[in-house]
Chain A
Amino acid sequence: MATTVFMEALSPTMEEGRLVKWHKREGDAVQVGETLAEVETDKAIMDLQARADGILRQVAVAEGQTVPVGKEIAVIVAPGETVGAGRGTGDEGRVAPSPAATVAAPSPAPRHSPPAAAAADAAPVKASPLARRMAKESGVDLKLLTGSGPGGRVVRRDLETAAARPAATVSASAPVAPVPPPPSPVPVSRTGAPYEDVPLTQIRKTIAKRLATSLGPVPHFFLTTEVDMERAAEARDALNRQLGDRGKVSFNDIILKATALALTKHRACNAWFQEDHIRYWNEVHIGMAVAVEDGLITPVIRNADVKPLLEIGREAGDLADKARSRRLQPHEYTGSTFSVSNLGMFDIDQFTAVINPPEAGIIAVGSIVQKPVVVDATVLPRRRMRITMSCDHRVIDGATGAGFLKTLKEMLENPLAMLL
C-alpha cells in the first residue's frame, strides 16, 4: 500500500515549509523512522521522517522549494508496487490529494520469502525499526510472526522468541547462519616454555594469504573504543598521595600495566605472525613507542604483567631517556610481543598506529578529554580517552580483538579489575 508523504505542520502556525535537503532520492529504499528530508520553518530545521517502509517515488519538491503544509511531496511504495491503486490511508488519516499519474513499476526485487508468504506481502507488517533490522539480519519473515507490541506491532522480544523456536516460523529460503559463540579467551600459561608454536591451520593460511593480498604485507584493521578514565584518575591520585616523594604513577604506567594484564587473558593478541606458524607468547613484553629526534623507537618493558606499577614507571622513564640519548642496547628494543603508542600528551584525541611486525597488534592511545556524558540518567563531566587497536588480520579476527579491547577497557574503567 502506498503512503503519501506530506509537508507536515511542525507548528500550528506553520503554513508552508521549505524543503532544504533531501536525505533520500527517488528510488531509494526507506524504512519507518528514517530521515527523508530536512524541512525548514522560520529558523528551525526539522527532520521529516518516513512513516512507512518501501521505495521513495514521485519526489515532487526540489531542494530549496517552499510548499504549503499538507501538500504531497513524495510517495512511499512497496517494491514492485504501482502508485495509484489502493493508495491513500497514511497513518495520519489525512485525505491524499488527487492521485497523480501512475509510475512505471520497477522490476520486481528478488524475493526472499517463500511463495506461501507472498500473498500477505501487500499488507504492511507493523514492526519496530529494531525488529525489522533483526528480522532482516536473521532472515525471519515478519509476516509469519504475531506481534506482541502496541497494536500488534512486532517488537524485539517477538524476534527473540522466534529465534528460540525451531525453524517452523522462520523463512526457509534465507540461510540462517547460526552465530557461534566467540571462542573463550585462552589465558597465558605461566608454567613451562616461554612460548608455544602453533602450526597454521588451513583456514588460517587462507586468511593470511587472502588478506595480505588485499592490504599491504600486514593486513591491518582497526577497532576504537572510548574509555572512561575517572576511576583510573582517582586511583592514580590516591596512589600518588600515598607514595608522597617515593615516586609517581602516571596514566601511561597504568595503561601499560592494564594492557599487559589484559593480554594475559587474551593470548590470541599476544602473538607473532611467523609466515608458516603463529607464535603465541606466554610472556608479555610490551613495546612502548618513544619519539626520538629523527624518528621513533620501541623499547621493551619485559614481563610487564608481573611488574609493579612503580617499577613499570621507573623502567619506562629510563628506557625513554636512553632512547632519546641513543644509548639503547639491542636487547632493550627487541622482543616485544605487543606495543603501545601514546600521543595523548600531544593533544591527539584519536589516531591509528602501524603494527610493529612480527607483533599482531598495537594500541594507539589518545589524550584524556573531559566531556559531558550521560551517566546513570544525568549529564556528568567525565574524563574520557580513546584507544584504537590495530590488528594483524592474519592472527587476530574482529571478535578476538574486540574481546581483548573490552577487557582492557574494563580494567581501566575499574582498576580493581586488574587484581582479578
Chain B
Amino acid sequence: MSAHVLQVVRAGVVPYAEALAWQRALAQARLEGRLPHDVLLLLEHPSVLTLGRTSRETHVLRPEGIDVFEVERGGDVTYHGPGQLVGYPILDLAGHRKDLHWYLRTLEQALIDALAELGIAGVRNPGHTGVWTRGEGGVRKIASIGVHVKQWVTWHGFALNVTTDLAQFDRIVACGIPDVVMTSIERERGRGKGDGSIWDGTVAAVVRGFERAFGVTARSAELSPVVSHTLKGALGETLC
C-alpha cells in the first residue's frame, strides 16, 4: 500500500481526552507498522483550554467553568470549542521528509490552500507558526498549530476557526501573544454568506489542501461514517 494515501476520518464532536487517547493509539499503530498509511482525524471538541509544553499559566486568564488540559504538543495555551475544525494528522514523516520545520510549513500551506478555495487570503506570520489573515488593523489569527513527533510519527495538529465563538479566546492570552486578534472563516467571509454549507465546505477544502500540500491522495472511498461519541441507549432500557 502506498505511503501516500491519506485516510480521512471524520468524527463529529469528541471530548478532548478521548480524542487524545485515539491519537496516541493510532500513532502507536503507525509507529509499529500496523497502520500502513497516514490518517487525518477531523473533529470538533466541546469547549476546552489546552496548554502546550511551553505554556505559561499566566496566559490562562479566565479558566472558570471550562476544562483545562496540559498536553505534550508544542505551543502555548489555546482554546478549542464548537465551530472549530480540529485536525489531527497521524503522519509518518519518514514517508515524506524528516524535517519538523518542513512539516509545520506544509501544514500551514495546506490550510492556506484550503482558505484560498474559500475566498480567504491566508498568510504566514514569520516567527508565529499558524495561519493568519491580513486586514485593516493588522494581522488576525485564523488557525493555530501545535504538534508532537515521536520517531517521525506525528500527532496533535491544527485548529481552524470556522464559526467559533471568538469571545472564548478572551479567556486566554492566545498562543502566548498578547493582544493577538483571533478570527474565523465566518467572520472573514461575512455572516450569512453560504452559512449552511460553511462547515462541509471547509472540511472538503482542508482535505484538498492536504492532498496538494503533502502530495497525498485522500481515500474518500473509505471515508468513514461520522463516528459518534457514545451510543446512548444502546443497551436498552432494562437493568441496573
B is bound to A: yes
Residues of A bordering B, CB below 8 Å: 10-14, 18, 20-21, 35, 38, 40-47, 49, 248, 250-253, 288-291, 296, 313, 316-317, 320, 341-345, 347, 367-374, 377-381, 383
Contact B238 A320 (CB under 8 A): yes
Contact A44 B22 (CB under 8 A): no
Contact check: which of B103, B147, B233, B239 meets A320 at CB < 8 Å?
Answer: B239
Contact A252 B239 (CB under 8 A): yes
A369-B222 contact, Cβ under 8 Å, with A374-B26, A377-B35: no
Contact B234 A368 (CB under 8 A): yes
Contact check: which of A44, A47, A316, A369 meets B238 at CB < 8 Å?
Answer: A316
Q: Determine the chain A residues whose CB is within 8 A of the CB of B29 once the complex forms.
A: 374
Contact check: which of B53, B129, B230, B236 meets A45 at CB < 8 Å?
Answer: B53
Q: Determine the chain B residues whose CB is within 8 A of the CB of A370 once the complex forms.
A: 227-231
Q: Which residue of A lies closest to B43 (CB)?
A: A372
A40-B74 contact, Cβ under 8 Å, with A10-B100, A374-B29: yes
Contact B101 A14 (CB under 8 A): yes
Besides the known contacts A344-B234, A345-B236, 15 further A-B residue pairs in the complex with CB atoms under 8 A apart = A13-B99, A14-B100, A42-B101, A43-B104, A43-B146, A44-B147, A46-B149, A47-B150, A316-B239, A317-B238, A370-B228, A372-B224, A374-B29, A377-B1, A383-B234
Q: Which of B25, B101, B235 has the most CB of A within 10 A?
A: B235
Number of A-B contacts (CB under 8 A): 163
Q: Determine the chain A residues whose CB is within 8 A of the CB of B193 once the complex forms.
A: none
Q: Which of B74, B102, B233 has the most CB of A within 10 A?
A: B74
Contact B240 A40 (CB under 8 A): no
28 cross-chain CB contacts under 8 A: A10-B149, A18-B54, A35-B150, A40-B54, A40-B74, A43-B52, A43-B145, A44-B148, A44-B149, A45-B74, A45-B148, A46-B148, A46-B149, A47-B151, A250-B236, A252-B235, A252-B239, A290-B239, A290-B240, A316-B238, A317-B238, A342-B239, A347-B232, A367-B234, A371-B22, A372-B26, A373-B25, A380-B224
A404 to chain B, nearest CB (A): 21
Q: Determine the chain A residues whose CB is within 8 A of the CB of B230 once the complex forms.
A: 347, 367-370
Flag whether B34 is at the interface (Cβ < 8 A).
yes
Give the CA-CA distance A275 to B101 in the complex, in Å: 66
B142 to chain A, nearest CB (A): 16
Flag whether B112 is at the interface (Cβ < 8 A).
no
Contact A47 B149 (CB under 8 A): yes
Contact B129 A288 (CB under 8 A): no
Q: Which of B5-57 contact A (CB under 8 A)?
A: 7, 9, 11, 18, 22, 25-26, 29, 34-37, 39, 41, 52-54
Give the CA-CA distance A10 to B100 in the complex, in Å: 6
Give the CA-CA distance A47 to B149 in the complex, in Å: 7
Contact check: which of B53, B54, B231 meets A383 at CB < 8 Å?
Answer: B231
Q: Determine the chain B residues whose CB is within 8 A of the CB of A42 once the complex forms.
A: 74, 100-101, 104, 129
Q: Determine the chain A residues whose CB is within 8 A of the CB of B100 once the complex forms.
A: 10-11, 14, 41-42, 44, 46
Q: Determine the chain A residues whose CB is within 8 A of the CB of B37 once the complex forms.
A: 378
Q: Determine the chain A residues whose CB is within 8 A of the CB of B129 once the complex forms.
A: 42-43
Contact A345 B240 (CB under 8 A): yes
Flag whether B137 is at the interface (Cβ < 8 A).
no
Give the CA-CA distance A372 to B11 in the complex, in Å: 8
Flag whether B225 is at the interface (Cβ < 8 A).
yes
Q: Determine the chain B residues whose CB is within 8 A of the CB of A20 once the complex forms.
A: 53-54
Give the CA-CA distance A354 to B151 in the complex, in Å: 42
Q: Determine the chain A residues whose CB is within 8 A of the CB of B4 once the complex forms.
A: none
Q: Mark B138-170, 1 if CB is under 8 A from A, else 0.
A: 000000011111110000000000000000000
B44 to chain A, nearest CB (A): 15
Q: Which residue of A lies closest to B39 (CB)?
A: A379
B78 to chain A, nearest CB (A): 10
Q: Which residue of A lies closest to B102 (CB)?
A: A11
Q: Determine the chain A residues whose CB is within 8 A of the CB of B232 once the complex forms.
A: 347
Contact B225 A250 (CB under 8 A): no
Give the CA-CA distance A288 to B159 in the complex, in Å: 45
Q: Which of B41, B100, B104, B145 has the most CB of A within 10 A?
A: B100
Contact B235 A342 (CB under 8 A): yes
Contact B236 A248 (CB under 8 A): yes
Flag whether B73 is at the interface (Cβ < 8 A).
yes
